[in-house]
Structures are given as structure tokens and as C-alpha cells.
Amino acid sequence: MKIDAEVEQRLNRVVPIVRVLSDILASQVAAGEVVERPASVVKELVENSLDAGAKSVLVDIERGGTGLIRVTDDGCGMVKEDALLSLERHATSKLRTSEDLAKVLTLGFRGEAVPSIASVAKFRMSTRREEDVSGTEIFVDGGKLRDVRDAGGAPGTVIEARNLFFNMPARRKFMRAETTEAAHVEQQIRLHALAAPGVRFRFRKDDRVVFDLPGVARTVDRVRQLLGNDLGAELVEMPERMGPGMSVMGFILPAKHARKGRRHQFVFLNGRPIEDAAVSKGLAEGFRGNLQEGLHPAAWLWLELEPELVDVNVHPAKREVRFHRPYDIRDLISQAVVDCLRPAPVEPRQATPVEVARTVGEAVVATRPMFHQIQAELAVDVPEREDLPKRKGPGFRLIGMLQERYVIFESEDGLVLFDPRAAKERIVFEQLTKGRNEGLETQNLLVPVLMELDPRELDLLLREKMALMDAGVEVEEFGGNTLQVRSLPACLPLEDCSGYLDEVFSEMIHGPASVGKFAFDRLARILANKASLRLRPRISEAEALLEELFHCDLPYCAADGRPTLSEYSRKDIDRRFGVGRG
């Protein structure tokens, strides 16, 4: 039989030999799934501490976690045999049979975390049970066991991972800046602190205490510890709501605190921090009608499900889960939010005759000047005073307002709708851009604004402080996760600076950015846009605002391109009403 040349060449090719991976290499492969960055190590070790019944957890890091990660707990500890077994792959105390996987109640259960960490770091474990006289200390370098010995120490477990990824230079290359990695670690610890409010959590970075959160009896106290006093006072409690095999409780902030990102959405399932689309949709549906499109509410939710209703074994790092009845979860959360936002009924009270008379009298007195003011504002035949400076505006005639939002003018050709907010955005934007070239005037805040931020956001804003300074926003680190804002551009309003800055920073960090998050033009647009949204259109200010708009280089559009004025010609209006037809 004649063999085709191509087939013969294929048959003669050397075939690779299938081999079983060594334990060290297998652990390093597993580490690629479990240990993505220092925060991943902290997550796995803290979860083990909580599963061990710890009431106090201390996390130390150096150089963003790449130099050192140390997790110290006061949990149950281990005997020598169990400590050694914990370094074996797939060794766990939390599963016995395959049926156990369908009802996982612990945070860690895969048995991969400790050996994976030990395979990519200089590893040390020290552990002792309370009833034992001495404990055990184990040293591992890159997956190779170096030493096992008896040791003293307090009851509990201490695990150190030094020089993370020292034997995997390719992985180490992908580490971010130390401040960024440290911010991710801090965020991870905060998640665990919310998930386990009764546990004391301490975090030290390069020998400096970042926070020390004592255990609390009430979940709301933990949320307030992390949220700060100002926002903590606005928390709305969501009473526990029950469903078939499930329940939800938690806290939300009013719709005015909704933001583009989901940075203020924290969800815990049976004590485990998770991310899930069904939960986010349930929150959005509960707030329906109260939020602008694209914004997400701030919420802290604790879900309790029967273990059979959820699969937690769908992601190596256990961030994602699979609900067996996701629509039930969504509806449960949605209805809980609706109930939470529904105003409490107020019992009507019959007013006394004296109160009625007083109210009517006050209303009459208060209405008189208001009536005369409205008459003056709506007058259309008042001659222009000759001593006033010549206006630069287009000479429109003021007619009135539409639903307290748009101003109606009459032009020579027809009808004009004027958007005061779009106009304000254009005015502020040009003041900022011109000020950059001519010297931007800033105003020091009498009392600097202090803002509690996500550690990752704080790190980003501090790294971009010079870009913010170019736009007239001076920021400094205040301590912990607090940012201090010392000055703003002089053209911006000063009322409610904290709320304004929160919206600005949220848009900078989480909004779309095609030319860089902190490019000057983008910063100026955001500053102008958020300032314009706080403007309350008033008919008495419309003409002055219109005149100021026409001093701008581009008066007919806002900074983002939407129109400031829309004109409807008399011809178009006649056509719409059929004027002039047969």
C-alpha cells in the first residue's frame, strides 16, 4: 500500500510523552488560579482564620504584599500532623464526601490555597492549639519543605508569605505599583470585616496601623465603622425579608448617593463576599423610578440560603456562585428594597381652629410679595433702561418656564427653548479652559472637605494629584482612607462641596474615558457637568444666564455637545398646526 508523503511525515513526527506533573509544578499551576495578587493570598488566609473560629485577625503587609504577607489569628490552631497535611494539595478538613460539596458552609474548602501559596513564596507557618503545651513551626521555600520543628507561641495560627512569586518572575512582572496592591489588600480585609462583624480586624502596612476595627454586636455598627459618620447617619435599614429557603437583610443609602460604579455594593452570601448579576438586578429593580439611567445604588446585603440552593464551587477564587433559583433571589431583593424605600404612613392630625386661622393668615401675607414678584418677572412690555450696559444676548423676549426646567423665549422667527443647566455647563467649562491658559483662579475652602474613600480610589486620586491641581482641585492625604480637598476652582459653587466632589470623583474613576481618566479636558467637562446638575433653574435668573452664555466662544452647545438652545420657527409651528392649508 502506498502511503501519502504528508501522512508518512506525520507518522514519523516525534510524539510528546504524557507525564504527570510534579507536586510543586501542580501547586504552581493551581496558584495561577487561586493566587492572582497579594490580595488573593490575604483572602485565602483570612478565610481559613474565620473558618478556624478566630475572634481576632491581624494582617501585616510590606511593599504592597510582595515583600511580606502575615496573617495572625486566635483560632483553634492545629496539631503537627494536620499542619503538615494542610500543605498537601486537596487536603481539607471541611469536606468528607461528594455530598458535602452540595452544602458547603465554610469559606474555604478546596484544599489548594495553602500549598499554592507555599509554592510561590518563602513560607512559614506557626500554629498551636490552646490545650497543647507546644506548637509547630514549618518552613517551605517555593514548595520545598525545609524544616519542621516544635515551637511556642500563642494559641492560633500565624502564616507568613515572603517574596511572593520569587520563583515565577513572569508572574511578578505583572504586579502593579505597591500602593495599588496595598489598596487591593485593604479592600479585601474590609470585605471580610463586613462579612464577620463580630471579629476584630487589624491591618498594618509597612509597620503603620491603617485601621483597627473592634468586633461589634450589630451589623449596622460595622457598616458605620467603615462608611464614616456622615454617610452612616443616612443608612436606611432593610428589615429581614424571608423567601422559600432564603432570606435577605441589610442597609441601603438614599438614591442621591447612587453612582456609576458598583463600588458601594457589598453582598455576602452565608458569610461569603460574592458578586452576582441577579443581586445587582434586584437592587436596580427595587430602586426603579428613583435612579438616573446608568447609576447604581449603594447597598450592603446579607443573604442566607439553604446550601442546596447555591453552588459555590464554580470559581477557583470563589468570587462567583451559581444560584439554582436566581429569579427568586432577584425578586426577594427587589421587594425588600421597595418595602424599605416606602415612606412610613403618617397618622393625620386634626388641626385646631387657632392653627387653621394662623396658617391661612401667614399664607396670605407671604403670597402678596410673591404675587408682585411673579407679575414683574412675567412682564413683556417693560422698556429697557438706557443706563444699563448693552446686552450681548440675541434679544429674545422672555415668556415663561416649562415645568420648572426649561425657559421659554420668543425670537423674531418663532419660539426658543433654553436649557439653563446646559448653559451653566458651557459657561463653567470655558472658564476652566481659559483659566488654564491665563491662570486659573482657585478658592481655598474655609473648612477642607474630608472624604472617606475606597482604598483603591484614594490611591488613584493621590497619584493624580498634580492633574487635579491643574484643574484647580487641591487634594492631600489626611490619614487612613480619608482624602482632604483644600481648594476648588473659583468659578464653582460652594454649597454642598462634599456631595459635589463625591459625584466628580466617582465620574472620574468609574465613568468612560477614551483619552485618559485625568486628561484636563475630561476633568473640566466633569467639573462643569456636575456643577450644572446642581443648578435649580429660575425664571428670574434666565436672562442674566442667557447673556453670560453669549459671552462664551461656543454658546450653542454644552461641554458634552448637547444644545443649550432649541429654536422652533414660526413656519415649522404653522406647518404642525396645518395653518395655510386649503
For the chain, give the percent of residues with pLDDT over 70: 78
Name which of 34-43, 380-389, 553-562 the model is least confident about. 380-389
Residue given cell 457598616 in the structure block: 223
Domain 389-582: which CATH number of 1.20.210.10, 3.40.50.150, 3.30.1370.100, 3.30.420.40: 3.30.1370.100
DSSP 363-412: HHHHHHHHHHHHHHHH-S-PPPPTTSPPP-S---EEEEEETTTEEEEE-S
Of 460, 557, 560, nearest to 505 (Cα)? 460
The model's confidence at residue 444, banded by pLDDT at 50, 70 and 90, is confident
pLDDT of residue 72: 96
Cβ count near 427 (within 10 Å): 23
Conformation bin of residue 462: beta by default, left when phi > 0, alpha when psi is -120 to 50? alpha
DSSP 514-562: SS-TT-HHHHHHHHHHHHHHT----GGGHHHHHHHHTTSSSTTB-TTS-
pLDDT for 248 beyond 70: yes
Residue type, 417: L
pLDDT of residue 12: 58
pLDDT of residue 140: 94
Question: How confident is the model over 271-283, as a mean pLDDT?
Answer: 85
pLDDT of residue 134: 92
Could you give the CA distance from residue 580 to residue 82 in angstroms, rounded to a whole number?
Answer: 95
Tell me whether strands 156-162 and 200-205 are parallel, antiparallel or unpaired: unpaired
pLDDT of residue 410: 85
Burial class (CB in 10 A: 0-12, 13-18, 19+), 20: exposed
pLDDT for 245 beyond 80: yes
Question: How confident is the model over 297-305, as a mean pLDDT?
Answer: 91
Query: Cell for 440?
Result: 486659573
pLDDT of residue 540: 86
Of the ranges 3-7, 372-376, 407-411, the best mean pLDDT one: 407-411
Reported as a single tens digit per residue, the pLDDT across 522-539 is 888 888 888 888 888 888
Cβ count near 300 (within 10 Å): 23
Question: How confident is the model over 123-142, as a mean pLDDT?
Answer: 94
Could you give the CA distance from residue 64 to residue 15 in angstroms, rounded to a whole number?
Answer: 45
The model's confidence at residue 5, banded by pLDDT at 50, 70 and 90, is low
pLDDT of residue 73: 95
Cα torsion 339, 343, 344, 347 to 10°: value is -140
Reported as a single tens digit per residue, the pLDDT across 252-269 is 988 888 887 788 889 998
Could you give the CA distance from residue 4 to residue 366 in angstroms, rounded to a whole number?
Answer: 103
Whether 424 and 407 have beta carbons less than 8 Å apart is answered as: no
Q: Is the model more confident about 42 or about 33?
A: 42
Reported as a single tens digit per residue, the pLDDT across 352-407 is 554 544 544 444 444 444 444 444 444 474 444 344 344 455 678 888 888 888 98
pLDDT of residue 313: 60
* Helix/strand/coil for 346: coil
Could you give the CA distance from residue 315 to residue 313 in angstroms, rounded to a whole number?
Answer: 6
Please tell me the class of the 219-341 domain. alpha beta
The model's confidence at residue 139, banded by pLDDT at 50, 70 and 90, is very high
Q: What are phi and psi of 208, to 5 degrees?
A: -115, 130
Could you give the CA distance from residue 311 to residue 293 in angstroms, rounded to a whole number?
Answer: 32
The partner residues of 274 in beta bridges, in order of sequence, read 267
Q: Is the model more confident about 438 or about 197?
A: 197
pLDDT of residue 456: 83
pLDDT of residue 227: 84
Of the ranges 209-213, 305-309, 323-327, the best mean pLDDT one: 209-213
Cβ count near 101 (within 10 Å): 14
Cβ count near 137 (within 10 Å): 20
pLDDT for 579 beyond 60: yes
pLDDT of residue 61: 95
How close are the terminal C-alpha atoms of the chain, in Å? 94
Q: What are phi and psi of 129, to 5 degrees?
A: -80, 155
Q: Is the model more confident about 159 or about 544?
A: 159
Mean pLDDT across the chain: 79
Of 159, 176, 82, 76, nearest to 117 (Cα)? 159
Could you give the CA distance from residue 492 to residue 472 in angstroms, rounded to a whole number?
Answer: 10
Q: Is the model more confident about 319 or about 577?
A: 577
DSSP, res 76: -
Name which of 94-98, 173-177, 429-433, 460-464 the model is least confident about. 94-98
pLDDT of residue 378: 45
pLDDT of residue 375: 46
Cβ within 8 Å of residue 422, ≥6 positions away: 532, 557, 558, 562, 563, 564
Could you give the CA distance from residue 28 to residue 21 in angstroms, rounded to a whole number?
Answer: 10
What b/e sequence results for 175-199 when a residue is b if at least 16 CB atoms lie within 10 Å of its CB, and e otherwise? beebbbbbbbbbbbbbbbbbbbbeb
Of 523, 511, 555, nearest to 440 (Cα)? 523
Per-domain boundaries in the chain: 23-213, 219-341, 351-382, 389-582
pLDDT of residue 43: 92
pLDDT of residue 477: 84
The partner residues of 475 in beta bridges, in order of sequence, read 485
Could you give the CA distance from residue 193 to residue 57 in angstroms, rounded to a whole number?
Answer: 10
> Which architecture characterizes domain 23-213 according to CATH?
2-Layer Sandwich (3.30)
pLDDT of residue 29: 47
Reported as a single tens digit per residue, the pLDDT across 177-222 is 888 899 899 999 999 999 999 999 999 999 899 889 999 999 999 9
